[in-house]
Amino acid sequence: MYSAGDVRIENVPDPKIIEPTDAVIRVTRACVCGSDLWPYQKMEHVETGRVMGHEAIGVVEDVGADVRTIKRGDFVIMPFAFSDGTCVFCHDGLQTSCIHGGFFGTTEVAGAQAEAVRIPLADGTLFPVGAHADDALMASLLTLSDVMGTGHHAAIIASVTPGKSVAVVGDGAVGLCGVIAAKRLGAEQIIILGRHADRIALAKDFGATDVVSERGDAAVERVRELTGGYGVHSVLECVGLEQAMNTAISIARPGGAVGRVGVPQEQTIPGSEPAFYNNVTVGGGPAPVRAYIAELLPDVLAGSIEPGRVFDRTVGLDGVPDGYRAMNDRKAIKVMVKP
Ligand SMILES: [Zn+2]
């Protein structure tokens, strides 16, 4: 990506081992993220371009001399952040705050919408799947690199537990995975806030019990009606815009919690006053998806959750610019890239 709206497919030098803790993986599946749409809409021109993409699964092609647990030929999940797996925050299960870590698809670290990608700190970062995975499972395995783990994180931060009422703000891939996560954690009522027919249908399949398609005050009123006038215990904020956050805080019941995973597009958190007077906990941030793979992977392998259904279009590398356009125009929920 060179600037907003300017995505090109180019031949670049093959990624190679730079640090002895690196690996190189051949990307078998990658995808376009909702958060890639923020630079797609706003990025200033970058002379050298930025190799996008922070979600991938693939096969390890090469490892550096100090890599111990990852081997050539391993089939691996690449979380969107790299991490050493050994620092205080990695031990706390917060790999997105790793003191030696960082993010793929930035101007510094090349991303995975590519044939291959260099993986810093391979032992800490990559998760070997181990089991031989059927082709039909690839889409769901790919979601463990970001959107499924991110939806799960929103649900954890929002304290979803059995019997709770939950609202999910946003019907993109993360919101839809949030529905899966809420159901998986035992929520009794799951309200999806969204207005796209195809996404709502999928949300219902994933376990949503109610749909609210209104916006703003009307949405708040509708959620209250659905929850005996009080609002929900847990809100998953999966958008990142001011109005979504305002709605999220307004539909939380007193003592409730908002888990925010939408990348915020403002410097301040709105809704300070209602959050204060209703004792609403507001938390969240970049999901430590690396920490969640071990918990979510067995459900994916068993087919008891199918987050891969969020992909409704597959492109080759040449189709990536069209993939961005389709997601930006809301013509696709999430685009898979098969290099
Ligand atoms: Zn660390």
pTM of whole model > 0.85? yes
In this prediction, residues 304-330 reach a mean pLDDT of 97
pLDDT of res. 265: 86
pLDDT of res. 122: 98
178 C-alpha vs ligand 1 centroid, how far in Å? 26
Query: pLDDT for 242-254, tens place per residue?
Result: 999 999 999 999 9
To 10 degrees, the CA torsion angle through 85, 90, 92, 96? -140
Which of 210, 236, 89 lies closest to 156 in space, CA to CA?
A: 236
Query: pLDDT for 42-77, tens place per residue?
Result: 999 999 999 999 999 999 999 999 999 999 999 999
Cα–Cα distance, 117 to 338 (Å, whole number): 14
Query: pLDDT for 214-223, tens place per residue?
Result: 999 999 999 9
Answer for the pair 31, 67: CB distance below 8 angstroms, yes or no.
Answer: no
- Pairing assessment for the beta strands 232-237 and 252-260 based on DSSP bridges: parallel
88 C-alpha vs ligand 1 centroid, how far in Å? 6
* Residue 181, helix vs strand vs coil: helix
pLDDT of res. 4: 97
85 C-alpha vs ligand 1 centroid, how far in Å? 5
52 C-alpha vs ligand 1 centroid, how far in Å? 23
292 C-alpha vs ligand 1 centroid, how far in Å? 15
pLDDT of res. 248: 97
Place of tokens 């993010």: 103
Place of tokens 């059927």: 134
Instruction: Give the CA distances from residue 332 to residues 56, 128, 171, in Å, rounded to whole numbers and listed in that order.
Output: 19, 30, 12
pLDDT of res. 130: 83
31 C-alpha vs ligand 1 centroid, how far in Å? 25
Considering the chain, what percentage of its residues have pLDDT values greater than 70? 99
291 C-alpha vs ligand 1 centroid, how far in Å? 12
pLDDT of res. 115: 98
90 C-alpha vs ligand 1 centroid, how far in Å? 4
In this structure, the chain runs to a length of 339
Angle 307-308-309 from CA coordinates, rounded to 5°: 85
286 C-alpha vs ligand 1 centroid, how far in Å? 14
H helix or E strand, kind and range, residue 168: strand 165-169
pLDDT of res. 182: 98
87 C-alpha vs ligand 1 centroid, how far in Å? 4
DSSP output for 3-41: BTTB------PPP---STT-EEEEEEEEE--GGGHHHHH
Answer for the pair 246, 239: CB distance below 8 angstroms, yes or no.
Answer: no
268 C-alpha vs ligand 1 centroid, how far in Å? 28
In this prediction, residues 143-169 reach a mean pLDDT of 98
Answer for the pair 339, 27: CB distance below 8 angstroms, yes or no.
Answer: yes
Place of tokens 């979601």: 143
Helix crossing, 147-157 with 289-302: angle to 10°?
110
- pLDDT(315) > 90: yes
Rounded to the nearest integer, the mean pLDDT of the chain is 96
93 C-alpha vs ligand 1 centroid, how far in Å? 9
- pLDDT(132) > 80: no
Q: What residue type is 157 in one-letter code?
A: I
